[in-house]
Amino acid sequence: MNLMTAARITPPADHPRPGLRERKKIKTREGIRAAMYALVEEQGYDATTIEQIAERAEVSPSTVFRYFPTKEDIVLTDEWDPVMLAELRMRPADEPWPVSIRHVVREAIAVGIDEDLAVSRLRARLTAEVPAVRSRMMESMSVTGRMLCGVIAERTGGDPQSLEVRVYAMALVGALMETTLYWADHDHEDDLKELAERALDVLERGLPAAPAAPGGTTG
């Protein structure tokens, strides 16, 4: 979820601490991302090459590709999805599904903005402005949606392959992506948390009623 690329939840306190090897991998991934963000700010996305990113991160180009298959993946890939799913599974079993979703989304945005608002804005802007990044995001949405289907089915007792579950999962993923794009399109002037709440309101309640036209009609 691209809103998810603007935010990462901190793993639960009781989550096992990653081993040394995994911590090194995380450090390498974060170093590659940081190198790319800095280069993009300096010279723009199109002018930034994998070779430059590798040099700035002090790794080889092959290492960059081992962690991120494409340059667009450096912008989009983070540790959000598995953590989000874990957080959803930790919510009380009797909690209404929309409440669980709102809790996780709120926490994700708060953590992401607190960690680095500038990076959150940059990632959202690149998704909105760079066709290759936006295209790659559309591809990744399908993967995220399928993962979400499993959690939705567990909580609702539905079939993860049913039309209803698949439609809801992709609607949620799409709504959060559009929230990110809207935020970027409007120069990040709006509060991202409020935008996400509005998007979730639409999913739960449908479109708000149109304002009444002059004369008391709505047509």
CATH number at residue 39: 1.10.357.10
Quick check: is 38 in a domain?
yes
Cβ atoms within 10 A of the Cβ of 13, count? 5
**Quick one: pLDDT at residue 7?**
41
Quick check: is 211 in a domain?
no
Q: pLDDT tens digits for 92-118?
A: 988 988 899 999 888 888 877 766 788
**Quick one: pLDDT at residue 67?**
93
Say which residue the tokens 């090897």 belong to: 21
Q: How far is CA 17 from the centre of its chain?
A: 23
**Which residue, among 19, 30, 28, 27, has the nearest Cα to 63 in the 3D structure?**
28
Q: 3-state SS of the chain: helix, strand, coil percent to 5?
A: 70, 0, 30
Quick check: is 214 in a domain?
no
Contacts within 8 Å (CB) and 24+ apart, 155-159 = 155/88, 155/93, 155/97, 155/100, 156/97
Going 195 to 201 to 206 to 208, the CA torsion angle's sign is negative
Domain count, the chain: 1
**Which residue, among 153, 158, 181, has the nearest Cα to 1 in the 3D structure?**
181
**Quick one: pLDDT at residue 139?**
87
Report yes or no: 7 and 80 within 8 Å, Cβ to Cβ: yes
Quick check: is 219 in a domain?
no
Domain that holds residue 175: 2-205
Most confident of the following: 9-23, 56-70, 104-118, 153-167: 56-70
Angle value at C-alpha 196, between 191 and 201, nearest 5 degrees: 125
Q: pLDDT tens digits for 149-166?
A: 999 898 888 899 999 999
**Quick one: pLDDT at residue 211?**
66
pTM value?
0.79
Say which amino acid occupies 191: D
Q: pLDDT tens digits for 175-186?
A: 999 999 999 999
* Higher per-residue confidence, 194 vs 156: 194
